[in-house]
Structure 1
Amino acid sequence: MKRNVMFDFKGGSPGFRAGWFLLLGLALLFAFLYLRYSLFPGGIDPSVKQYFPLSLAEKARAFNFPLRVLYIVQFVLEVALLGWLLLSSKGRSLYSRIRKVGRHYWSITALSVISVWILVQLVTLPFSYYGYYWLKIWGFSTQSLGAWLMDYGKNAGIDLLITLVGGLIFFALVNRASRYWWVVGAAFFGIWLVVEYLFWPILISPLFNHFVPISDPGTITMINTLAQRAGLHINGIFVMDASKQTTLANAYFTGIGSSKRIVIYDTLLHNYSLSEIQAVLAHEMGHWKHGDVIHGLIAGVLGGFIVCGLLAFFLKPWLPKINQKPPELWAALQLTLLLLLFVSNPIQNAISRKMELRADSFSLQLTGNLSAEIQLQKDLAGTSLADLSPPNFIVWFSYDHPPVLTRIHALETEYYRSSASSKK
C-alpha cells in the first residue's frame, strides 16, 4: 500500500473526461443559479396579498435568505475539501501518513474512511450550528445549546457507525467483485433501504423523541371516521414530543410493514384547530392510501442502481486492476456522490412534490372542507416563515413540497372541478 493514486483527466478516455466535465459543469451551473436567485429573488407575487399580508412575505424572505446562501457555500466547501484531498500535495501527504499509521490494508482503509468523515464534519459543523442559532433567534428552536449538542452528537455517532460499516463493505465489494461491484453494491443499498424504512422509526427515532399512541378521544373518533371513509385500516398514529426541539408543527407518514405509522407533532395538536388537524391526518392518509413510502422505496432502489452504475464510470481512475484498491477511493466516492446527488435534486424533488399534491387532493376529497385545507396551508406557512413567493428555479431545484400558493391554488382548482362534476 505504498502507491498514491491521483486523478488524471489526461489519462482517461474522451468519454470519461466529457462525463466529468458535464457533472462538474452541471453542479457549478446549478450552484450559481441557486446563489443568484437567493441573492436576487425578484419581486413578490402580487397574488400573495390575497392570502397573506405583504409584511409576512418580506419577513419570510429575510428569514430564508441566509439559509439559502449558506447551503450553497457549504456545498462548495465540501466539494473543495474532497477535491483538495484528491488533487493536492497536502492530500497526498495525509494519505501517506494514513498508510504509515495503519500499516495493514484494512486498518488503512478504516482510517481513511474515518479521516474523511472527520474532515467533512469539521467543515459542516459551523453550518449546522448556524442553522440552530438562526432558528433560535427567530423563535423556532426550543432547545438549549446543550440539548442541541446532545442531539448533534447522537446524529454524528450514528452517521459515523453507518459510514464506517458502509465504507468497509464498499471496499470489500470493489476488491472482490471488481468488475460487477456496482451491481452488488446497488443490491446491498436496496437491502439497506428496506432495513432503514423498517427499523428506523422504532429503533433510531426514539433516541431523539418520545412517541406515544394518540389518546385524545375526539381525535381518535375523527381518525376512525376518516379511515372508514378512506377505506383504510390505520393501526399506528403516534404523537411526537417535538416541542422539546421546535415550535414548528408537522406530521409525517413513515415506515413499512409493522413499523408503518403516522406521526403528529405535539405542537400541531396543541396549536391548531380540530378541522386543521383533520386536514393534516387526511393528507397523511393520502400518502398511506397511495403507498407513497413503498413507491419512494422502489424509486430509491432503482435510483441506487443508476447511481452505482454512474459511480462505476466516474471512479475509474481510483479503481486500478489490483486486489487492494487505494484508500483515496473513499474520498473520490464521497466527491462523486456529493455531485451526483446535487445535480439530481430536481428529479428527486419533482417526484416528492407530485406526491404531496396528490395527498393534498386526497385530503380535500376526504374532508370536503376547502376552508380548513386553505387555513391549514396559511397557518403552516405563516408560522414557519416559508417563502411565500420563492423563485421558480429554487422551487424546481430544492423544494420537496410545493410552495404554499401552488398548494392553495391546486386545492381550489380541485374543489371547484369536483363541485362542477357533481352538478352534472
Structure 2
Amino acid sequence: MVSTIGLMTVRGWAYLTLIVLVAGLVVAALLLVPWHRPPAPRSDQLAALAELPQDRVAQARELRGETRWISYPSMILGLLFALLLGLTPLGAKLVNLVPGPWLAKAIGGGLLVFFLAELVTLPFAAWRHSVMVRYGLSTQDWAAWSVDLLKGYAVGAVLGAVMLLGFFGLTRLFPTWWWAIGAAGAACLVVLLSFIFPVLVEPVFNKFTPMEASPLRTELMELAARDGVPVKDVLVADASRRTTAVNAYVSGIGPTRRIVVYDTLLREAPAAEVESVVAHELGHAKDRDVVVFTLIGALGTAALVVGLYLIGGWSWLLRMAGVDSIAVPQAIGLLLAISAVIGLVATPVQAYVSRRIEARADAHALDLTNDPATFEQMQKRLSLVNLGDPDPHPLEQFLFGSHPSTVERIAFARAYSRTH
C-alpha cells in the first residue's frame, strides 16, 4: 500500500510538472512569438503572381506535383512503420536480436530500430534526388548524394547513441524519478546543440571559407553593426557542390554567430539583393529567434520526456508493444511510435509559429534596408531560382509552410512601400 501511494505521488508530481512545462511553453509562445501578421493584400498577391514568368511558375507547380507523390507517401509509410514497431512486439523483438547486456541492447538495438525506420523511406529519398537532378536543382551525382546520406546517418547515430545512453542510463540509475532528471537533461541538450551545431555539425556537410575582402563583405559587416548585431565573420558555403538553390543565413549564438552566404547566391544575385537576404537573417538574430526556438524546443522536449513517463503507465499500450515498462530498451519501438505521432501533430503548429517569425524578419529587413523594391526583386529571384511554388495551396501552406509564400512576401513589400 505504501509503495502504491508512493507511485501515485510520483505520478502526481509528473502530472504537475507536465502542466507547468506546457503552461511555460504557452506563455513563452504568447510573449515571444510575433502574432501580428504584416498586411499582405490578396490583390497585391495576385498582381505579383501575374508578373512572374508563367513558364517558371508552371514548372515550379509541376515540380511540387511530383514531389507531392514522394513526400506524402514517405511520411505516411514512415508513420505506419513506426506504429508497427511500437504497437506490436516487433520493436521489442528487433532490440532482442542484439546480444549482450542492457547497454548493448539500448544503443545497438536503438540504432538498429532507427536505421530500419530510415531504410523504409530511403527509396523515396532517392526518388526525390532523381527528381531534383532532373529539374536542375541538385548538382550531386549518386556517389556524392550517397556520401551526404552516410554523413547524415553518422551524425544521427552519434546523437542517437547519446540520447539512448542518457535515457536508459537514467531509467536504471533513478527508476522512480528518471523522468524529472531526464526532462532537465533533455532541455540542456537542446540548448547545448544550439551552440555546438554551427561549429561541429555544419562543417560536416559544407565547407565554409571566410569571404574575401570586398565591398560586399564590408557592406554586410556594416549592415550587422548598424543593426546592433555583432557577428564574428562572413563565411561562404560551398552549396554549389550540392544544389543550385540560393540562400543565406545567420548561424550560431553569441561568440559562434556568423553570416553564412551560399556561393550560389553570390553567383546569381547582385550585391543589393544579397544585402536584402542578409538583412532578413539579421532580423532573426536581432529578435533572438534562435534563442526563442531553443527555449520553446527545450520546454517542448522536457514536456515530451515527462509525457513519455506518464504514457508508460498505460498498461494496455505496454501489452501491445510486448514490454513490461517503457523504461527498458525493448520499448524503443514504442518510444519511436509515440514521438512520430507527437511530431506529426506538432508540425502544423511549428509551421504556423515559423511563418509568423519569418514575417517579422521580413519586416525587419525592410526597416533596415528601406528598400522594398530590392526586397521584392530578391523574393522573385528566390522563387524562380529555387523553383518554389509562389502561391501554394492554402491547406498545404497551413500544414507545412515554414515561410510566408512568395506572393505574400511581395504583397507585404508593396504594402510597406505605400505606408512608408
Q: TM-score, normalised by structure 2?
A: 0.82
1:371-407 superposed Cα distances (whole Å, 9 cap, x missing partner): 1100000000011111122111211111111111111
2:388 alignment partner, SS class: coil
Task: Give the counterpart letter for 2:379 in structure 1.
Answer: Q
Please tell me the residue identity of whatever aligns with 1:397.
L
What letter matches 1:141 in structure 2? Answer: S
Task: Tell me which residue corresponds to 2:391.
Answer: 389
The answer on 1:61 being equivalent to 2:58 is no
Q: Determine the C-alpha separation between the residues in 2 that align with 1:172 and 1:288.
A: 36
| Partner AA of 1:361 in structure 2 | A
Task: Give the 3 Å change call, closer, same or farther, for CA 146–323 of structure 1 in structure 2.
Answer: closer
**Do the aligned partners of 1:197 and 1:254 also contact (CA within 8 Å) in 2?**
no
2:229 corresponds to which residue?
Answer: 232
Q: Give the match for residue 145 of structure 2.
A: 148
What secondary structure sits across from 2:282 in the alignment?
helix
Note if 1:51 corresponds to 2:24: no
1:284 Cα shift? 1.4
- Structure 2 contact 91–334 (Cα < 8 Å) conserved: no
Deviation at 1:273, TM superposition (A): 0.9
Aligned length: 371
Q: How does 1:14-413 map to 2 (within 5 A)?
A: 46-88=46-88, 93-94=93-94, 98=97, 101-316=98-313, 317=315, 325-413=327-415
Deviations 1:151-200 (A, max 9, x none): 11111111112112211211122333344433322222222122212112
Deviation at 1:335, TM superposition (A): 0.8
Measured against aligned partners, the alpha-carbon deviations of 1:48-90 in whole angstroms (never above 9, x if no partner) come to 5433133322221110123233222122212222222344465
- Going from structure 1 to structure 2, the CA distance change for 1:376 and 1:121 (only over 3 Å counts) comes to same
Percent identity for Structure 1 against Structure 2: 29
| Change in CA separation of 1:224 and 1:390 when aligned onto 2, cut-off 3 Å | same
Of 353-362 and 369-378, deviating more is: 353-362
Tell me the C-alpha RMSD between the 2 structures. 2.3
Per the TM alignment, residue 323 of structure 1 is displaced from its structure 2 partner at its CA by 8.7
Stretches of structure 1 lacking an aligned partner (at least 5 in a row): 1-44, 420-424
Name the CA distance, whole Å, in 2 between partners of 1:394 and 1:350: 12
- Rate the CA distance shift 1:323–1:91 in 2: closer, same or farther, 3 A: closer
Letter in 2 for 1:50: A
Name the CA distance, whole Å, in 2 between partners of 1:231 and 1:257: 13
Task: Give the unaligned 5+ runs of structure 2.
Answer: 1-44
2:82–2:340 CA contact under 8 A, matched in 1: no
Matched, 1:416 2:418: yes
Residues 414, 133 of structure 1: CA spacing in aligned structure 2 closer, same or farther, 3 A cutoff? same
Moved more, 81-90 or 232-241: 81-90
Query: Judging changes above 3 Å, is the alpha-carbon distance between structure 1 residues 323 and 245 closer, same or farther for their aligned structure 2 residues?
Result: closer
Deviations 1:184-231 (A, max 9, x none): 222222221222121121222112221112224111231243234323
Q: Deviations over 1:109-168 (max 9, x none)?
A: 333212202211210211221222111111111112111111111111111121122112
Q: CA 1:88–1:304 in structure 2 vs 1: closer, same or farther (change >3 Å)?
A: closer
Question: Partners of 2:229 and 2:138 in 1: how far apart?
Answer: 35
- The offset of 1:249, in angstroms, is 0.5
Question: Are the structure 2 counterparts of residues 83 and 257 from structure 1 closer, same or farther at C-alpha, using a change threshold of 3 Å?
Answer: same
Q: Distance in 1 between matches of 2:304 and 2:89?
A: 30
Query: What is the CA-CA distance between 1:91 and the residue it aligns to?
Result: 5.4
CA contact (8 A) 1:269 1:277 kept: yes
State the alpha-carbon separation in 1 of the partners of residues 308 and 326 from structure 2: 18
Would you say the 8 A contact 2:221–2:234 is kept in 1? no
Change (3 A) 1:217 1:78: same
TM-score by length of 1: 0.81
